[in-house]
Structure 1
């Protein structure tokens, strides 16, 4: 009575595959958040994978409800757009705040980029 018996097998397989792939990507991002040693390394896991993993879960939801209701369901498109626009911006702002905090505390050297950009800045 939960609706799964009313959708075709191809849709159930596609929804299940999207959920497993999306959930796995989100899990990998969460493990990166837990396992990496510094903030600057930790922020990359969730920043990249949350968007992709959430996209897989939202595609599964769109497919499930579209097949179940026999009409195009696009509510998840708004959620996807919101996640795609906000997740990278939030991650960037967190990284900039951490850099600013570390510069103020003296943990970072302002000339740390001289190794990478040294030859370009001296020309």
Structure 2
């Protein structure tokens, strides 16, 4: 394997590992659920992307053609992580999970919790 590919793979793994470490630390360190959602959805997604890019480069060199499996996994993670975080935040809001006083948007939380479900418009016969 050429030296430049090894360097690119190592740098990508180091960057991905650093983001994963930061995301894990944030998940443990941040105090409430609303703040904790940022850590796994942002830092950990970037970390997994770095690791998968390194794997894609390595597998592409071994096979001799472009490896698409890692690209599909990365795309799936980039799409599903924000959606999952949004669903967790909505569940926490509707379950009235307490937030800290330092959490921004306290006034918006009550507005979102108490809003009515949209009604269907009347059907024309």
- Normalised to the residue count of structure 1, the TM-score between the two structures is 0.77
Q: CA RMSD in A?
A: 1.9
Structure 2: runs of 5 or more not aligned? 100-105, 110-125
**1:107-122 equivalence runs, <5 A:** 107=98, 112-113=107-108
Query: C-alpha displacement at 1:69, in angstroms?
Result: 2.0
Aligned to 2:95: 101
**1:1-123 equivalence runs, <5 A:** 7-102=1-96, 107=98, 112-113=107-108
More displaced, 87-96 or 37-46? 37-46
Instruction: Give SS of 2:84's match.
Output: helix
- Normalised to the residue count of structure 2, the TM-score between the two structures is 0.76
4+ residue stretches of structure 1 with deviation over 3 A? none
Count of aligned residue pairs for this structure pair: 103
Structure 1: runs of 5 or more not aligned? 1-6, 115-123
Q: Which has the higher helix share?
A: 1
Inter-partner Cα distance in structure 2 for 1:81 and 1:19: 18
